[in-house]
Structure 1
Amino acid sequence: MMDDYRFAFDTNGYLVIPDTLRPDEVAALNEALDRELTQRRDTFYSRIERTYQSVRVLEVETAFDTLIAHPSTFGILKALMDDDIAFSEFSIIVKETDSVSHAHWHKDVGYRGASMAQSLLLISCIYYLTDVPSHGACFTVTPGSHRFERPIPEVARIEDMPTCVPLVGRAGTAIIFHANLWHAALPNCPGVERRTAHLYYCRPWMKPTGHTNFPSRLLASADTDAMKRFYHANWGAVK
């Protein structure tokens, strides 16, 4: 199975893994997110009208800790990174009903002059915390685009990108993708709210982005040298 995952990831630049979170896990995460939205709304910033993001949910809510090295995905992430992996950042995005796209076609990193096959420095994992139907602000990708260093074509609508694939999924679905992959978020239709958790991983020798402050409990939970490197103890990233 891991060989299949690696082949699909190397070829397409992403994996869609359904049912990575149990219904009770999804419920607990949404309850924690409801508390954040009610009690700490000021920690969310607006990406665009009716779309909000927070990089601070780890500060209080320990429920989100389970996603960082979740047993359903962490083995895959480690295998894709050849066990040379560290935590980089965590955020939550909430797209309210009938919201426009907050992210047109882009990639999260570019490797100038480097071979893509040798350049997996950053990898991301998204968890759907709500059902995401075809009309529900799907995370959308262009398969194989991570393997080429070329300009992203300009298109009027996200869905006009040739060969693009909207990634529908039930709550609990995980999407793992290469940071050089072209991706976007479709608009949201009336009656659908999209909630997603976004995690990034890098190499242990890379300095954290500073996007997320790691609570001290994460380092305290690291019981091996590998997990201490995973939480960037060498960079003093835990606060």
Structure 2
Amino acid sequence: MDDDGNYRFDISGFIVLPGVLSPGEVATCNEAIDQMLSGGDDLPPTAGACDSLVQLRDHPVLAGYAESLCGEGFRLDTGPVLLGAGGKADGRLSGGGEWRDWSRAYFHRNGVRHCQGLMAVWALCDVGSGDGGLVVIPASHNSEVETPEELLSGVDDMGLLEQPILQAGDLLLCADALVRGVQPWHGAGPSRLLSYGFANKHVRPHDWSNLDADDTYSWAVDLPSAERAVLHDPQREGQPAVVRPEGGTSRIDLEPGIYHPSIYVRNPDAAIDEKEFYHWDLCGHLLVKGAMDAEWLAAANEAIEANEDRIVRESRDGDKPSVRLQGANRSKMAEVWSLPEPHCEPLRRMIAHPEVVSRLNWMMGSGYEATKCDAFCSKPGAAGIHLHAGGTTQSELNHYTFRNGRCYCEYVNVAWQLRDVTAADGGFCYIPGSHKTAYAMPAGILSADDDMGMIKHLEMEAGDLLIFLAGAQTHGALPWTGAEDRRCVLLQYRSRNLSWESASARKRR
């Protein structure tokens, strides 16, 4: 994998390789599948021996990526399977980084990436927007927070679910730890997404079978059931039994499964919204809807308008070269909490508002301080801001860590929206999950000229509150193209762990 591919896969958990198969190869595979289906929906057990499908399984492009991700000696684990055949859909999503199924986990250790399981999906038909089929939650392979039940069950997709757009001949690869599923098919013609699963050579097969062909121990038949359950059995099939202590002996649960107790329990007094916590850990930002009422919003806008003489046009000398982000100089009003009375009041109210404090307490812990309060006031046509920050920046200021049920970070930005931001307006953009990447930002991401489909724009309404990792999440701004001036107030909060020196103090020094 090249640097761009590593960056994309590490952050999003999946990558699309376009045009791996020619139209002729796609047609040959579809013909073979049509013959095997014979009016049915599912491939027969003998499908894996079909010459056309064997060529897909052993395709050199797939083999090269599988070895790069799963390691030398990787092996076939599942497939071939037609995803969504006959209109079938999954009842719930599967995958996720927590709890951690180590046999299918994705992680970095000692500078080495480990992708224990990989799903490869050959697109043998076009998949357009809204067609259904495979859906994923980008970055969920790196999440260490349990996926909310309502998200898994489909009750609330939280705006996180993404359906990859594919062309016939494309190859999609995704980490087995990525949250994913199959939705009902609405595309033209039958769904033709053919999947294979691959695994690292050291991990168990998906069906829990043993690869050991040895005979069982002859003396094991005389052991009590708990001892037999714990003793290695080459003939075992299915999940292992759960053995628990009971009094002075051990017993077996009636049903097989997984029992892995934790010393931690959820704190009902923490007042942390489960979905918000998951979203923050997953993406690196959080949008709080309707944090400002109409009266407060009007007063904040009036404060900006009454002091327009304080708006300055920023120099663009520090901008990085970019075609996509070009435009006129941006404008802002600095230190708006220092405006004269009464205009400072609606802005100072933002400093320790309960909507902010309640979330900063679990995002970075108490003791944080607000160090900056600026208003963004760019006019239509103003330039964007190059993408910056991210998990690989070498600084003490940018880290994000989740440990023992708590998340840690050192700088958080809080942006109060004073005007609507539509999809066509530009402004804040970000890369979800970039706060956890182990790979450097490609030049095309920094300039936004080649965003690899990763840069997202966030629609917001006046009165909304955006909280994001200032140093850890890769973010920037698209050129402002709204009908009115951009209008938001940004406060920056520093954790209790860092020292602080103002710009004026640095100049004196």
TM superposition score normalised by structure 2: 0.36
Worse overlay, 159-168 or 195-204: 159-168
Match of 1:88 among 61, 69, 77: 77
| Matches of 2:197 and 2:35, distance apart in 1 | 24
Is the contact between residue 80 and residue 194 of structure 2 (CA under 8 Å) also seen in structure 1? yes
| Matches of 2:168 and 2:197, distance apart in 1 | 20
Query: Partner amino acid for 1:14?
Result: F
Structure 1 gaps of 5+ residues are 42-50, 212-234
Report the CA distance between 1:195 and its aligned residue. Answer: 1.1
Name the counterpart of 1:10: 10
Change (3 A) 1:26 1:77: same
Name the counterpart of 1:146: 141
For 1:166-185, list aligned pairs within 5 A.
166-185=163-182
| Matches of 2:187 and 2:8, distance apart in 1 | 34
Name the counterpart of 1:133: 128
Name the counterpart of 1:78: 67
Match of 1:106 among 81, 94, 104: 94
Report the CA distance between 1:183 and its aligned residue. Answer: 0.8
Q: What is the number of equivalent residue pairs in this alignment? A: 201
Q: Does 1:164 align with 2:165?
A: no
Give runs of ≥4 in structure 1 deviating > 4 Å. 112-115, 156-159
Is the contact between residue 124 and residue 178 of structure 1 (CA under 8 Å) also seen in structure 2? yes
Q: Secondary structure at the match of 1:124?
A: strand
Query: Partner amino acid for 2:7?
Result: F
Per-residue CA deviation, residues 111-135 of structure 1 (Å, 9 max, x unaligned), is 3587733552111101111111123
Report the CA distance between 1:55 and its aligned residue. Answer: 4.8
Q: Taking CA–CA contacts closer than 8 Å with sequence separation of 6 or more, which of the two structures ends up with the larger relative contact order?
A: 1
Query: Partner amino acid for 1:117?
Result: H
Change (3 A) 1:92 1:54: farther
Is the contact between residue 124 and residue 176 of structure 1 (CA under 8 Å) also seen in structure 2? yes
For the aligned residues, what is the CA RMSD? 3.1
Q: Secondary structure at the match of 1:199?
A: strand
Query: Partner amino acid for 1:5?
Result: G
Name the counterpart of 1:116: 107
Report the CA distance between 1:5 and its aligned residue. Answer: 1.2
Name the counterpart of 2:252: none
Q: Does 1:188 align with 2:166?
A: no
Is the contact between residue 94 and residue 180 of structure 2 (CA under 8 Å) also seen in structure 1? yes
Report the CA distance between 1:197 and its aligned residue. Answer: 1.1
Q: Secondary structure at the match of 2:48?
A: helix
Report the CA distance between 1:27 and its aligned residue. Answer: 0.7
Per-residue CA deviation, residues 105-161 of structure 1 (Å, 9 max, x unaligned), is 211886358773355211110111111112322311111110123322214748834
Is the contact between residue 120 and residue 173 of structure 2 (CA under 8 Å) also seen in structure 1? yes
| Matches of 1:79 and 1:34, distance apart in 2 | 33
Per-residue CA deviation, residues 160-189 of structure 1 (Å, 9 max, x unaligned), is 343322101111111101111011222222
Structure 2 gaps of 5+ residues are 209-233, 235-509
Name the counterpart of 1:66: 55
Report the CA distance between 1:52 and its aligned residue. Answer: 3.8
| Matches of 2:57 and 2:64, distance apart in 1 | 12
